Structure 1
């Protein structure tokens, strides 16, 4: 084996060891917070701050070629946001997320029902931005492929249910299961009406891959500390350790009343 190959393998092992230690520390902090808040079932937005700090993300060098094709209905600067909720809502939640990111899953699991309630009632609109920082940190293409598949689901009006399915079935961070289109299609079968020939072609062709890459570059240029980054009316509420689903609901409802 060449010295270059040995060095490459050693670097990969060291990176994996660091990642494992970081995840252990994050899990320990998460367990401590959950135990401390178990009486009132509160999960603070900063529960997994250890994961966030490590998820600054770097370009993994696997940038897609081809034209930038945004999903149907994409909004915002350069058409990089997938909108959910009524445009007339007085509050806007901006979420930068990565489908491979454990901290993003923790946020979704804690806030999913509250966000659904507020968007369904017309009090909140959400702008989802997709990033691929775990691909950059850990290697692989699962973040990008899952984001492309979610964009494909947006094309047929199924973004929200597929988005939720992806997070509910998120693999361990070091397992790049979402890199396999077969896995993404398997999960699509859990969403009524999504698993169609058009959706399959979109996923397998990577129709929105270049759009996902462009979204990730916007994340990198945004100066954010990691994923998830959650902004309520441009205020970063993910950094607020007192934030809870109940507090978010209270803030949105207060804004709705004017």
Structure 2
């Protein structure tokens, strides 16, 4: 018998139980390791967000920054429109994804990527709107706007998409610049998806003289440029940009800083003057509009 050979005989049922308990312990350890890794990744994401937010607060001198969101944090599907991308009238650039404000032959180009739900975009516009208008009206720059919808992808809703479509509809009417400013001046809280309501977008169109027309309403309510907006958002993701707003002067990033200097109204004017040295300003012409 086994007991005559010395040692301890363990009944088979207890051997099986021991194996099961050991397996369960290994699985629990693996689960703890996975959970710890997730916590570490979340902590690192929060650390990066705080660093970026602190930089924006220092640059703009504004409190309560929550809107500069890394593009990787949450992405809209961006390319699955219900139909072909219909570019708004006067759109320019590669694949007609650019809405230009200012003279086409201005010596310098400021490229701006924005999301109408992005709080930091609204803060950027508030801080630099007058300076940008002055630089445009004096023929020193043209501003090329590109629209993104990353807030929809990050916090849910459709306000970024709906507002961008409405802005494109305003471009059809030759009123993009004015409506763009109205949207940012009346931006709801990031958690409030008020721009998802076409009625709200049409109401705000009443603040732009001549914009609230049957054609504009039909464009907004029908989502005429939805696929174009989604195509623009895809281009934003493909461009590898870190968040909105993104601002590039002649292709060089200037937000939140350039060459170690934080952006400010004075620095923005200085950078444009340096870029335009030896070049004549353009003659100011109207922004392209629908015929």
Structure-1 separation of matches of 2:209 and 2:64: 32
Give 1:168's match in structure 2, choosing from 157, 165, 185. Answer: 185
Structure-2 separation of matches of 1:129 and 1:61: 14
Q: Does 1:231 align with 2:248?
A: yes
What are the residue-to-residue correspondences of 1:109-188 with 2, within 5 Å? 109-188=126-205
Structure-2 separation of matches of 1:158 and 1:107: 21
Structure-2 separation of matches of 1:224 and 1:83: 20
> Does the CA-based 8 Å contact 2:56-2:65 persist in structure 1?
no
Q: What's the C-alpha RMSD, in Å, of the aligned pairs?
A: 2.8
Taking structure 1 as the reference length, the TM-score comes to 0.81
Give 1:58's match in structure 2, choosing from 64, 75, 90. Answer: 75
**Residue aligning to 1:245:** 265
> Does the CA-based 8 Å contact 1:30-1:47 persist in structure 2?
no
Give 1:83's match in structure 2, choosing from 90, 100, 120. Answer: 100
> Does the CA-based 8 Å contact 1:129-1:215 persist in structure 2?
yes
> Does the CA-based 8 Å contact 1:48-1:103 persist in structure 2?
no
> Does the CA-based 8 Å contact 1:71-1:208 persist in structure 2?
yes
> C-alpha displacement at 1:53, in angstroms?
4.3
Structure-2 separation of matches of 1:236 and 1:123: 18
Structure-2 separation of matches of 1:249 and 1:80: 26
**Residue aligning to 1:108:** 125
> Does the CA-based 8 Å contact 1:29-1:47 persist in structure 2?
no
**Residue aligning to 1:39:** none
Q: Does 1:256 align with 2:276?
A: yes
Q: Which runs of 5+ in 2 are unaligned?
A: 1-42, 279-291
Deviations along 1:155-195, whole A, 9 cap, x unmatched? 11100110000000000001100000000000000000000
Aligned residues: 229
Pick closer, same or farther for the CA change 1:32–1:249 going to 2, 3 Å: closer
Q: Which has the larger radius of gyration?
A: 2
Q: Secondary structure at the match of 1:146?
A: helix
Taking structure 2 as the reference length, the TM-score comes to 0.72
Pick closer, same or farther for the CA change 1:166–1:50 going to 2, 3 Å: closer
Pick closer, same or farther for the CA change 1:248–1:151 going to 2, 3 Å: same
Q: Which runs of 5+ in 1 are unaligned?
A: 1-17, 34-41
